[in-house]
Structure formats: structure tokens, C-alpha cells
Amino acid sequence: MGTIAQYVPKDPQPLNQSGFSYVSDNGEINATFTKDDSGNNVVQFSNVSTGAMVSWYPQEIKYTDDNGLDDIIYSADNTSDLFVVRQFHARYDRHFPDVEEYWRVEAGQLKHFVTLTGDQRDPAPYLTNPKLAVGGIITFDQSFSIRTMGMTMVGDFTTGAGIDIVDGNGNPIFTLPAIEAWDQSGNKTIGSYVVTDMGPGQIYVAMAVDNAWISQDSIVYPVVIDPTTIVSGNFDISAAGGRKIVQLSNGWIVVAIRDVGSAILRVYVSKDNGNTWSLLTTPSVNPVSWAIASNGNSVYLIACSGQYGIQVFAFDATTVPSSISTAKYPNQNESSQSWAGCSIAVDGNGYIWVAWSDINPTFPQCYNIRAAKSTDGGNTWQWWDVTNLGTSGDDSKYPSLAIGTDNTPVIAYSAMRGNPFVYCAYLNGSAWTHDITIQQTANTAPAPCLVCDKNNIFHCFYSAQQNINQSLYGVWHTQSQGPNAWPSTPNNWDPIVTHSSSYGSGWLDPTASYDPSKNQLYVFYESQDGNFGGSVGSQGAWTALSGLPRTSNSNADPNALWSQFSMNSADAIRYIYNDSTSIQYSYVSLNSPPNAPTLNPVSNFDAMTAKNLTWQFSDPNSNDSQSAYQLQVVDVSSGSTVVDSGKVTSSSQSYALAANTLSNGKQYQWRVTTWDSSGAQGPWSNYSTFNTAAAPSVSFTSPLAGSSDNTSSVVAKWSYSDPGNNAQASYDLQLLDANNNVLWESGTVNDSTGNIREMTVQYTLANDTNYQLKIVSTNTKGITSAPATTSFSTSFTPPAPAAMTATPDSASGRISFAIFNPAPTGSQPAVSGNDIYRRTSDSTDWTRVAEAIPSNSSWTDYSVASGQSYDYKVTTYGTNGTQVDSQVITTSISLSGIWLHDPADPTTLTRFKLRENNRTSKTDYGQTLMHFEGRELPVADMDDQVDQQIQVTIDCLKTNGDLDSLRALIARKSVLLYRDGKGRKVYGVVSEVPETEQDWGTQVQLTVNAVDYQEAV
């Protein structure tokens, strides 16, 4: 969702007294409360930049009904004085009991409140469905006209929609939005304007609210009736039948909007899926009607203006300049000054089709539909009169053009032929067949919207009053029974949303789009109560859309993206709407079809064996799942499909090829397509290739099945044969326990010679245990053998476990160990050596710290931390390849001072005197701070590096030689082990030794920088 264009009106100025008047003027709007030359109270509201002005003369309070009968409650009082209540508020002191009339100057508009503070008397009994109305006379420039729901009104009318006062070019100058009324408990209703034509530049307006609503027991006074006058300085996207939004092949979304204040057409673009918008270009045209279409990255824009007639602008959105003036003319002779809608579409051949309605010199008495086609990108045109009416009042207006899947253009339009109709026309060969009845209505709103589905069925949406039951109003749908074949009974009403209030006070201006994956239609419509509605479905089955945006404008003019050959991208139905002072973009997320599945690699195999072909389902909707698949296997040599599963309803992502389905000695390709949980099919995957050939065979020669091994290691030996004399290219050997759990695996071992037939298993076997060996071999054709297995057991005698004693020596900074190996008895082997393992007592991980220690010898550990408890054990190895562990012993030492030595030379171990309270440590964690434009603070990039440093002060006396020992250690330029009485133990380097001479000796500032060091041997 995003804002495409925003109009920001200026803040109002407070009302200031000027003579007998009160005036607010901010340079954009002017509101004046005064008296005219005859002494009548009048409110004058004007657009400062254009000079356009409307005047309001307050009139009576009355009851009125749909039959035109009135019951006056209070007559007009135009003689009372005007006074300002607050700085932005004004009111006339009309002496009407329980009725107050206020105005409030706001940014870009003049609010008009009528407040009922109590019940009025009952209406006269001769009124039918009475309404309470506040009257007034509105005057304006005689060249202006009145429009509601897109229709120019002549004579008296009633509407629940808003009213536009438009100039001679059809541009709205002032807007009176639909009337809203509410009470103090939150009850709301929509009122209506009852308009009486008083001649050029003057109408009488009764602002009416149903008395049945006001007189409800639940109503809590005061009741506010709120008509408003707005300066039309914002934007326009009206007439949903002519599209204002398209999507290009590069994903850009393009929107055409009219800036009402300047009457300039502006084209905006979003390159990030509607999140942000920018001005793309400005065509040199001030249109009354306009629409756009696209093909690839090309945009085509039709504009109808009084100055230039019909123009089509064609441009590449990726290269278009900021303004364009070159246009094409579908009908060079067009000279109409009056337009009633236009539409544009591109067919499957890339041909441009346009349709428009105008009053032209050929038929000057009424509006007719015209059409044109260009096969060369808009340079040249062929045009037709689609309708050719000559009788005044027989109008054809507001065309909506759609292209069928067979490239047939069809136009739906609103028509008057004595009675109101929704008609269509289509090109039949070289001539247009027109006035095909889609619907006959009691009162048809303009701008029907036409779409075509993937089955070449056309769908028409329109807002209307039903002629069968004239109490029903709403948005309706009628679909063709085939290309250009509409229901034989015209009154085939398919309601989407209906109501029974006054005409125009409900849902209006439908715009439609289409989801081909589900064959569903989406329709959006505005409501005069500020709601923005939408429905999804098909003939006879419509469901309201939830979560649509609320608008602050009753004339939302929604406009959806659709084109038969430039469809919405599969993820969303996209639309725009008017939110009073801005044009907004939004969308309804769709179920997207699955992506092409990812095929898992298939190794070559023997066709005489079964094989599973597997894939991975992929879908843009992360929570979606596979509901079905289809798999095909093709013989590359013949090109024929040898396996076709058809559509299989299954969530499984695996297909089992039975043994002997294919033949050996061939190359095959396979592919898969999938369906998601909504039944949408995705594209086929790319083909993947495999070969078939007879498989090699292997068997173990050692150890033989059932044999016993008397050592703790085993060497596997096997034989290999291949029917095609293909050498062994690789093998994979596994050791398993009796329960088939893998204990060790070689992984794939390449055999460059083709002659490897044995391997030592890198695993220490346990005594009296059953094991299995498994091997598979792969030949140079990539065919893998069936696995060969053999089972064996172990039965061997390990050496006697060693006994070990520990002697901690804190004064010397070490722990000494004595190892005692008992003499072999019975079948015990001789000892070949001992390894010593160490761990901290709070750990489970052993580290080998000494190896190959002879029998009955000793070993000293110089690398233990002060105060840390350590566990030690001895692993003794026998000459027969067996091993055994000693019991675990635990010990520790406690150090004082500073201990340093070279781990490679324990004789360098030296204790130094620490100056008290002069020991610090520091740890730095690796990070990089990066600064970016638009961000006040930096962004941290953390890495895995850690810098650790210890700083101590050492006192070296003149008499003990410590300084010489320290200098000798540093001079070795090797890693040193630092330990102290606080339990610190750090392997590190010392780069410098700052020395300070004292009377008693030398004070040294020692800095140890920690480095990585492996203690394990």
C-alpha cells in the first residue's frame, strides 16, 4: 500500500470583521459571511486562484417527500444579524427553535453544520416517507453545470451521492460530498440532496435526512447534519470503465491521474511493487476523460479534451522524458467539445483499441460511441462510428473496452433509448454490432466495467436501480453466455451488493479484476457512507472482501488493474482509490501458483532395480502445500514419453519407478509439475537427466560372515565385478552395530586406479561385540552396486589397566604423575605404551596431553591453572592392538605470584613476584562500525574475533636473577604460558618489556596478548 499523489491544502485563516462582513482568506480559499445588495444573508465561498465562487442563501426548515410535497416548519429568515461565534466559526441567528446552523472554515473546505437540539413537530400526514430538510439556494457561474455520480444533471433530481459543480471543460470546481448525519450515541445515516433547477447558475438544494431515522427512540440529541463544500484542488481518477492503472512486463506499476486544480494529467510510477511512487511523465493535455493500457514496457494513454479532441500518447516507460507533447489522433476530424468517457486496451497481437463517447458534428443531437484501432503502435488508425444515434436524448456514454481471448473487441456502455439500458457492441468482421442488451434498468449509473475471463466469457459490472423491483439499488453483474452472447432475458440480475435506500446512497462505480488461477472475479465499489467495499466470486456466488481500507471520501472512485493480455502479476489484485486529498494504492493478496519444483539429483542406476525420483515443492505462499503432481520420463534417443503418471492427488514429493520400467543402456530425462492446496498448477520443472546400465557387484572376502576378530581393529577386503567391464570408480564403506546403527563411514572414496579392494576401518572395536560391514561400489558409468554386507564379532584380551598416582606441587607450579603397568598374566598382551588424558572436573571432554609414555614411568603437567580441579586417566595400549583405560583420579594445585614458561621447554618455568593490586585484564570483541547516509547512528558488524590481554606489574629484585630470567623468556620469541594465583591461564606472546629501575631492583610492566594454542597432542 502507498500514497501515489497527495494534495495538502493550506491551513485556514481566522475570520476577521470587514465592515458588516466576516472574511477568512488564506490565499487559496476565501469564505465571506455577509449580506447581498438586497440585504439577504449569504455565504460566499471561492477559489482564490481561479476566482470561481459559489454562494449559499439560507432558506426554510421543512419536511419533504419523494413526491415533491413539502410541509414548511420554519420559513426563511434572511434579516437576522450575522455574528462570529469563534475564530473559525460563524452562524446566522435564525430564530428557529431547536435548530442551529453553523459554518466552520477548514483547510480546503467550508464545513456546514445543522444541529437539531430537540424534536421537531410531526410531519403532515399527506407526506409519504417524509424527510427533514434544511433548504438553501446555491448560485454559481452560469457556464458551470451540475454533475452527480458522473452524470451531468439537467432539471430536478434527488441523489444520495455527492454533487460536483464543474466548469465548461468538465473539471470539478466545487464538490458537495454526500450528506452525513449522526447523533451523540454514534448512530449514523446518509442523507440526500433534493435539487430543484432554478435556471442557469442557480439551484435550490434541500439537505434531507429520513425522518424515520431522526424519530427513532435510540436517537440521542443533538443530531448533526453535515453537508460540506470542498474546493476541488485534489486529484481525479473517476470513470472505472476506463482503466487508470497498468502493470508493465518489468513489474513497474503505472497510474494516470488528473490534477483537478491545474487540470493537468500526471503519470506516476512505482518500481517497488507499489511501496513508493514518483512522477514518471506529464503529457501535454488537459483531459475531460482519459484511460491507459500497456504492452510490455510500453504505455498507451487516450485523452479526450475540448482543445485537442481525441489523442493517444504512446511511450516506453523506461525511457520516457519528464514531459511528452507528441500525440496521435485516432480521428483527426474530431472536434467535439463534450465527452462522456473513453477506454483503451491492447489485444494479443499488440494492436491498440480505443473507444470514446462524444457529441460530434455528424450526430450533434446526442452522445455516440466511436472506436478506433492501430496496428503500428498508434501511428495510424482505422476508426468507426459504433453507434449512430440522431435523436436528442438517445445517448450512448461511458464505454468500457475489453478484448476477448480471440482478440475480439467488446464495448459495454450506458445508454438511454427512452429507458435506461446497459448495452454492448462488438466488432463483427468489419462492422460493429451494437445495442446488444446486457440489462434494462429503472435508473442506470454511468461507467459500466467490462472484463473477459480465460474462457472468453465477458463480465459486465454496473450500479443501477433494478427495474423489476424498483426498491432495490446496488452493484450488479451480468455475464455473457459465450463470446458476445448475452442472456436472452435481459433482466438476468446477479446481485453483488444491494440496498433499499434512495438511489445513489449505496454502492457505486464498480471496477473489476480477474484471478485466472481460480477463475474468480474481484469487484470494488465505493459507498457514500465512507466505506470502501469489495467482493470476490462468480455468477451467483459473491463473498464480501474484508480488510479493505477506510476512506475519508465518499467519492472513492476505485479503479482496478486488469487487461486480458497484461494481467495482474499472480500475487495480487491491484487497485487505486481516491482518499479525499490523495490517491492511494492498495492490493488484495492472491494465492499464487506454485513455482516450478526443484528436482533432486538422480544418480545413474540399473533399470532392473526400483528407483525413487524425488523433488521439492516450492510456492510463493510460504504456508501453501502440494496437493497433486504429475511426472513424466522421456527416452532421449526416441523422444517418446515412456512414463506419465497423470495428475496424482498426493502431497508426496516422491515417485517410485518400479523395477524393469525402463531399459538399461539408455539416457532418460524427467520432469514434474505440481498443484497447490487451492488447485492452482505451477509450471513444469526443467528436465533432469540420468543413465541406466547394468550394475556392478561386490562381496566381502574378509572378514567372512560369522568370523571372530581378536583385535580392536578390522581391515575390510572385498571383490568387485562388472557386467560391462567398467572399472570401480569409487566406494563407500560403513561399520554398523548389530542394530544397523552406523558407527563409522568412509564417505565416498574415489578410486583413480580402479584396483582398491581393502580399507582399514578407523574405529576402535569393543570386546565381545557383534558388528557389520556394508559396502557399495560405483563404476565409471556412475552406476552403483547393490550393497554387500558381512557380519563378525570380536573376542580379544586387553592389557591390564594402569595404576596412576598424582603428586601436586604448588611451590613448583606442577603436578607429577607416576604410572604403574602390571606385568601381563594369562592371555594379556604386553604393553606398547600409555597415553594420558586430562579434563577439568566440570567438563565431559577429554584432551590427550601426553602420548607414547613407556611402561612404569612418570610424567609432569606444567600447564594447570591455580585452584582448578582436574581429572586424569591413562589409556594403556597392548601389542595386540587393544587398549584399556585406568581409573580416573582428581587433583589440583594452588599458586601464588606470576608463573611463566615456554610450554615446549618446562625447564624455563619461573615464578615472579607480583606487585599487589597491579593486575588487569581486558577482552575486545571484534566489530566494525559502519556509517550510512540517512542514519544518525552507526551500524555494528560483529565478527568471531576476540582479543584478550593481561597486564601485570612484576617486581624483580637485584639479588634473585628474576629480571634475567624474564628477559631470557621474552628473547625466545615463542608462545609463553601465563598463570597466576587468581586462576588465570593464558597462552600468549609478549612483544615488549617496559622496565623501571628502582633502588631495590627493577619494576616491569608486563603485557601478555592471548593467542590460539592447542594443548592436545
Mean pLDDT is lowest, of 175-184, 623-632, 878-887, for: 175-184
pLDDT band at 826 (very low <50, low <70, confident <90, very high): confident
- Residue keyed to cell 630470567: 965
Peptide bond into 822 cis (omega under 30): no
Cα–Cα distance between 303 and 265 in angstroms, integer? 9
- Neighbour tally for 1015: CB within 10 Å: 12
Most confident option among 263-267, 282-286, 509-513, 613-617: 613-617
What is the biggest distance separating any 2 CA atoms in the chain, rounded to whole angstroms? 138
Percent of the chain with pLDDT over 70: 87
- Give every CB contact of residue 333 below 8 A, 6+ residues apart in sequence: none
Instruction: Write phi, then psi, for 965 (nearest 5 degrees).
Output: -65, -40
pTM score > 0.75 for this model?
no
Residue 568 pLDDT exceeds 50: no
Over residues 928-956, the pLDDT tens digits come to: 666 667 677 776 666 667 778 888 888 88
Answer for the pair 538, 521: CB distance below 8 angstroms, yes or no: yes
Question: Could you tell me how far CA 773 lies from the centroid of its own chain?
Answer: 53
Residue 758 has a pLDDT of 96
Answer for the pair 627, 677: CB distance below 8 angstroms, yes or no: yes
Over residues 654-703, the pLDDT tens digits come to: 999 999 999 999 999 999 999 998 788 899 999 999 999 999 999 999 99
Over residues 735-776, the pLDDT tens digits come to: 999 999 999 999 999 999 999 999 999 998 888 899 999 999
pLDDT band at 614 (very low <50, low <70, confident <90, very high): very high
Task: Write the DSSP string, 824-847.
Answer: P-TTPPPEEEEEEEEEETT----E
Cell numbers that stand for 557 in this block = 472512485
Over residues 839-857, the pLDDT tens digits come to: 999 999 999 999 999 999 9
Answer for the pair 411, 357: CB distance below 8 angstroms, yes or no: no
Answer for the pair 351, 379: CB distance below 8 angstroms, yes or no: no
Residue 504 has a pLDDT of 40
Answer for the pair 381, 373: CB distance below 8 angstroms, yes or no: yes
Instruction: Write phi, then psi, for 130 (nearest 5 degrees).
Output: -65, 155
pLDDT band at 565 (very low <50, low <70, confident <90, very high): very low
Answer for the pair 632, 643: CB distance below 8 angstroms, yes or no: yes
- Residue keyed to cell 451467483: 540
Going by the DSSP 8-state scheme, the letter that residue 865 receives in this structure is P
Over residues 485-504, the pLDDT tens digits come to: 777 655 567 888 776 544 34
Cα–Cα distance between 600 and 616 in angstroms, integer? 7
**Do β-strands 707-709 and 788-794 pair in parallel, antiparallel, or remain unpaired?**
parallel
Mean pLDDT is lowest, of 127-131, 199-203, 922-926, for: 922-926
